[in-house]
Chains A and B, each alone.
Chain A
Amino acid sequence: MPARSSDTAQSPDGTTRSPHDTTRSPDGERPPDAQAFPAAPPHRALHGRPFRLAFPPVSGMLRPRLVLTGVLVAAGAFLLFCWGLTLGDYPVALMDVVRALGGAGEPGTVVVVQDLRLPRALTGLLVGIAFGVSGAVFQTMTRNALASPDMIGLTEGAGTAVVAAVVLGWTGGLGLSTLGLLGALGTALLVYALAWKGGTTGYRIILVGIGVSWICTSATDFLVARGSRFQAEEAVGWLVGNLNGRTWDQVDTLALALAVLLPVTLGMGRWMRTLQLGDDVAAGLGTPVQTVRLALLLAGVGLVAFGTAAAGPVAFVALACPQIAQRLAGTASPPPIVSGLTGALVVLGSDLLAREAIPGTELPVGIVTGALGAPVLLWLLIRANRAGSGG
């Protein structure tokens, strides 16, 4: 092909007339060997594979690596889900668990699996999805990996509400879960209101959120210090995040919330992608920026609030899982669905560890996610840096 000659052609007017000849880029960012980037066919694997149906006129882009990652993570989460169901005073084989899930097998096993163990496993699964998706939403919306719900005060606010109720003995007839939910929602409202200045920006939400988060943490610490030992234990037990003794009630509430919030969130995926380019560019591309940001904020807050209500503030899932998912899938932003699945994988895996790591002791899941999630994230960051691609 004639590319070689033209690439190096030094025409008399070359200095002013072939500006796109990138070889003369003074930044020298283009490798000297221009042939290292050979001609590519119109559909490259990296771009994904376009698919189009004549009728209905549906089209889109399939990204093989994203899909593969999603399938693998989902399979892993399902395996851990079933594995968790085998554990307990009455051991059940893995295959029997799968059968019992479908209502088949020994009636006793079905009761143990479906009535006693399923609520805990399902709570772990749904909480993981809720936190993972919520983290992806916040990180995408604010264009900042630090903007997870546990960084901008939502989980802290939930904690403060619950601890205040426990220590001050004032629950208003509401359960701790409901109080956690209200705490998270109230804090979100406060952060949004304080960050509002003729519209909000992601940056301002993070800054205000971190401030509010510390206020809530201080308030929680104050309340725990003032409370009696028994009260403090109860409060701290809730604060670390826990899957022990979940019931179908909690599962139902969470499942219902997810059934509403997940479609809403995923439906805004297209706008999340434009919002990532900055508010002005997004608006120029036809994104109703403030409306979408508020809707995303509400959906993200809802997810994290219901998740927190069901299991307490399980540390690190919302922060780390979207980042893990992004690196596994090789995307430029946290992919919402895979983030959710990764969240489920991490929470279920952590719960297994929490129950099995120390014989005879059952740790709260939040301790394990914190201890486990942080190194995984650090490892991914370091690896990405060494490879010269990540931050």
Chain B
Amino acid sequence: MSTTDPRAPRTSRPSGPSGPKPGAGVPRPSDADAVAMGAIRPPSAGPELRARDLHLAYDGRSVVEDLDLSVPTGRITAIVGANACGKSTLLRALARLLTPRQGVVELDGVALRSVPTRELARTLGILPQTPVAPEGLTVFDLVGRGRSPHQTWWRQWSQADEEAVHGALAATGLTDLADRPVDELSGGQRQRAWIAMAVAQGTPVLLLDEPTTYLDLAHQIDVLDLITDLNRREGRTVVMVLHDLNQACRYADHVIAMKAGRIVAEGAPAEVVTEATVEDVFDLRCRITPDPVSGTPLVIPLGRHHHDGDARAQDARPAAIVD
């Protein structure tokens, strides 16, 4: 059990003779991490999540229409699109937080609405956008609450619960912060604490609504790396709503581009994120080059003031800024 390791594996990674390995940027789990993650029972072949003929609405206002979707099992899927295109709404429907007006979401071929609540919570974890923990709640207690679908009123803290919580804390590098109140953590640590809760829940499918919102760049990468770890090591299916196209391209195996409640394109990042699609989805012209680190598409937006190697961009600047 990795919890006896005094340091969170992720913080203390290269302490052995192997030392800090050179070769930047490529996600590569360390051995210590793998041990920590092993503490949580890796889900076997994950369940299949799909939506058919989905119509979603809030108060009669139609948000998503006629949508068919099959989430690739064991992969990371990113849903991208402009604000209010229905991507968070879709995620909520996939998690049964929203009842479809028409159509059905299916988990392994069974309509979501007929899956027993507890069973659903053991299969499918959802992390909404910017959740708020009650003041004073410790990281340990928050992560512990992730175990509630596995608990009953007489069995509230089994050995499995304890192992899952310690494993989740280790996997997210929060072992040392376990006794601290969540509201006293930095934004990045707080987001990791919530993800740790979802990890402790131990669901083979994880739905995340903009897990990087309000985080600075370093913490965004931190969280996305962590999500990648969960997918690569444990085979968890991840569906997340992301705003940053470049991060979606880098971290997702499958990208779904949405516009006005419909899927415009889906597939591998290189197939979906093209200049034409970006212009269609975001109404924004752009150039796309290969990401120098990952080789995935890198979106360079054009604006009114910046055009491709165009001298007019200089002209457009106010004189005061030119020199």
A102 contacts B by Cβ under 8 Å: no
By the criterion CB–CB under 8 Å, are A280 and B126 in contact?
yes
By the criterion CB–CB under 8 Å, are A332 and B138 in contact?
yes
By the criterion CB–CB under 8 Å, are B179 and A46 in contact?
yes
Chain A residues in 8 Å Cβ range of B158: 52, 57, 59
By the criterion CB–CB under 8 Å, are A285 and B149 in contact?
yes
Chain B residues in 8 Å Cβ range of A14: 20
By the criterion CB–CB under 8 Å, are A17 and B128 in contact?
no
Chain B interface residue count: which class?
A: 35 or more
* A389, closest chain B residue (CB): B136
Give a binary string over A305-340; 1 marks a CB under 8 Å from any B CB, 0 the rest.
000000000000000000000000001110000000
B236 contacts A by Cβ under 8 Å: no
By the criterion CB–CB under 8 Å, are B187 and A52 in contact?
no
By the criterion CB–CB under 8 Å, are B135 and A390 in contact?
yes
A11 contacts B by Cβ under 8 Å: yes
By the criterion CB–CB under 8 Å, are A40 and B179 in contact?
yes
B166 contacts A by Cβ under 8 Å: yes
Chain A residues in 8 Å Cβ range of B135: 332, 390-391
A46–B140 alpha-carbon span in the complex (Å): 9
Within 8 A of B (CB), among A28-69: 28-30, 37-40, 42, 44, 46-47, 50-52, 56-61
A34–B225 alpha-carbon span in the complex (Å): 23
Give a binary string over A278-296; 1 marks a CB under 8 Å from any B CB, 0 the rest.
1011011111100000000
Give a binary string over B233-257; 1 marks a CB under 8 Å from any A CB, 0 the rest.
0000000000000000000000000
By the criterion CB–CB under 8 Å, are B181 and A389 in contact?
yes
Least Cβ–Cβ distance between A9 and chain B, in angstroms = 6
By the criterion CB–CB under 8 Å, are B154 and A58 in contact?
yes
Least Cβ–Cβ distance between B2 and chain A, in angstroms = 10
CB < 8 Å neighbour of A283 from B6, B20, B97, B176: B97
Least Cβ–Cβ distance between B4 and chain A, in angstroms = 7
A2 contacts B by Cβ under 8 Å: yes
By the criterion CB–CB under 8 Å, are B21 and A3 in contact?
no
B122 contacts A by Cβ under 8 Å: yes
> Which segment, of B40-48, B113-121, B271-279, B305-313, faces chain A?
B113-121
By the criterion CB–CB under 8 Å, are B120 and A7 in contact?
no
By the criterion CB–CB under 8 Å, are B148 and A285 in contact?
yes
By the criterion CB–CB under 8 Å, are A277 and B155 in contact?
no
Chain A residues in 8 Å Cβ range of B192: 20
Chain B residues in 8 Å Cβ range of A20: 8, 10-11, 172-173, 192, 222, 226
CB < 8 Å neighbour of A286 from B120, B159, B188: B120
Least Cβ–Cβ distance between B270 and chain A, in angstroms = 22
A47–B166 alpha-carbon span in the complex (Å): 12
By the criterion CB–CB under 8 Å, are B22 and A29 in contact?
no
A1 contacts B by Cβ under 8 Å: yes
Chain B residues in 8 Å Cβ range of A245: none
By the criterion CB–CB under 8 Å, are A19 and B155 in contact?
no
CB < 8 Å neighbour of A61 from B120, B146, B157, B189: B157
* A197, closest chain B residue (CB): B59
Interface pairs (5), CB distance under 8 Å:
A20-B11, A40-B178, A59-B161, A274-B145, A286-B122
**List of 4 A-B pairs having minimum Cβ-Cβ separation, nearest first:** A39-B6, A11-B20, A286-B121, A19-B222
